[in-house]
Amino acid sequence: MQQSVLKMERPDYQQAADATEIQGCAPRMLIVDDDPSVLRLIADHCARIGFDVETAANGIQALVKANWVRPDVLIIDVNMPEADGLSVCAHLLHPMNEPLPVIVISGSRSAQTLERCKDFGAHYAYKGPSFWSDLEAALAEIHPRMADRILQSSAGEAAPHVRRRPRVLLVDDDNDVNRFLASWLEKYGIDVAYALSARQALRIASRDEPVVIVTDYFMPNGDAPYLMTKLRSSEATSNIPVIVLSGRPLSETTVQNLQRKIGGHPGVAQVVMKSQDPSALLDVLKKYCGFDIPEIDAINTQAFGRH
């Protein structure tokens, strides 16, 4: 099988990796991805191999955690909110810092990304069919004393699917609105699932682990406050950011109530008015999931503004 891993050319990091293994310590690993499904899959897999795993959901968290975790290896996604993975790498791999082996992961095969990985001396693993073998090959090269354990970790097991793009769950009882927003968001590299009720949304959110949930406020079988209460009462969905859409103005008190914490978990991240220009929603989504925004095409927005 052809590997998409780029070989690192930093001879100094290998001495640190060997020292950690000789001392009998579990190598410390920091995994950074804004997609909770991908983050959980990689963290569980690497913990089973024997790494001491810490995780971060965005670039800012990664920089903070890297300072106190002092990881022996970093696995980091490229497209993330607040600070992208390559910018984090540029900071952590500064010549004044200690050597750090890095595996960059991405659902894109951008030539620019590959070139920057080479400049950093980083490995690269594409979120595709060969993702797990690419990741394990990179880890085995970084930590050769663990190579047998790493390369045998998936023997006889079906590799779990790692999705390439962030997934957003749309919740609206008007299916025309769901379909319109889905087709619009997919233009920007976002996977979309949608639900017609709060109860259906709860089932999908628990199963699919979306990066963000976008929900209508007024729905006949459970409005946004009902959905928020149910989401925050389940560990699987307790921290998923929620954006509320409304075709009617909401009072300041209503918005404040939506944004209050529920059982120590975050309230609604933001309230957005439905309008003839859904680009406002994209601007908000950019804060919570990483993706590239090309220039917005002229799109027919009639379906969005009417509900």
Q: Do residue 48 and residue 137 come from a single domain?
A: yes
β-pair partners for 124 = 104
Are 104 and 229 contained in the same domain? no
> Is residue 158, in this structure, part of any structural domain at all?
no
- Spatial CA neighbour of 8 closest among 191, 143, 169: 143
Class of residue 282 by CB neighbours under 10 A (exposed 0-12, middle 13-18, buried 19+): middle
Tell me the pLDDT tens digit for each residue of 153-177.
776 677 788 998 889 999 999 999 9
Q: What is the CATH number of the domain that holds 51?
A: 3.40.50.2300
The last residue of one of the domains, among 106, 124, 151, is 151
pLDDT at 11: 43
Residue 162 resides in a domain = no
The pLDDT of residue 227: 97
Per the prediction, the chain carries an average pLDDT of 86
Residue identified by tokens 């990066």 is: 211
Q: Residue 67 above 70 pLDDT? A: yes
> Residue 109's CB: how many other CB atoms inside 10 A?
12
Tell whether 224 and 98 lie within a shared domain: no
Surface-to-core class of residue 12, CB atoms within 10 Å of its CB (0-12 exposed, 13-18 middle, 19+ buried):
exposed
Domain identity same for 180 and 281? yes
Phi, psi of 270 (to 5 degrees): -165, 150
Both 139 and 266 in a single domain? no
Point out the domain boundary residue: 151, 186, 214.
151
Check pLDDT > 50 for residue 241.
Answer: yes
Q: Is the same domain home to 175 and 274?
A: yes
Residue 301 reports pLDDT greater than 50: no
Q: Are residues 172 and 60 part of one domain?
A: no
Identify whether 220 is part of a domain: yes
Does residue 255 lie in a domain region?
yes
Report the pLDDT value the prediction gives residue 276, as an integer from 0 to 100.
66
If asked whether residues 128 and 258 sit together in one domain, one would say: no
Residues 53 and 90 placed together within one structural domain of the fold: yes
For the ranges 89-98, 113-122, 135-144, 173-182, the lowest mean pLDDT is seen at: 89-98
The string of pLDDT tens digits covering residues 118-163 is 998 999 999 999 999 999 999 999 999 999 999 887 766 777 889 9
Q: Give the pLDDT confidence score for residue 189 in this predicted structure.
A: 82
Whether residues 146 and 205 fall in one domain: no
Q: Which of 110, 125, 151 is the last residue of a domain?
A: 151
The tens digit of pLDDT for each residue in 198-214 reads 999 999 999 999 999 99
Nearest by Cα to 106 from 40, 165, 189, 191: 165
Tell me the pLDDT band of 307, cut-offs 50, 70 and 90: very low
> Does residue 161 form part of some domain?
no
List b or e across 62-90, with b for residues whose CB sees 16 or more CB atoms inside 10 angstroms.
Answer: bbebbeebebbbbbbbbbbbbbbbbebbe
User: Residue 244: inside a domain, yes or no?
Assistant: yes
Residue located via tokens 């690419």: 134
Range 225-250 average pLDDT: 94
| Neighbouring C-alpha atoms within 13 Å toward the C-beta of 43 | 16
285 and 207 within one domain: yes
Count up the domains in the chain and report the number: 2
The residue assigned the tokens 């310590």 is 25
Strands (E), the chain: 28-32, 52-56, 73-77, 102-106, 123-126, 167-171, 191-195, 212-216, 242-246, 270-273
Assess whether pLDDT exceeds 70 at residue 5.
no
The answer as to whether 160 is a domain residue is no
Based on the domain organization, do 146 and 228 belong to the same domain?
no
1 belongs to a structural domain: no
User: Does the pLDDT at position 29 exceed 60?
Assistant: yes
**Boundaries of domain holding 71:** 11-151
At residue 24, the pLDDT reads 58
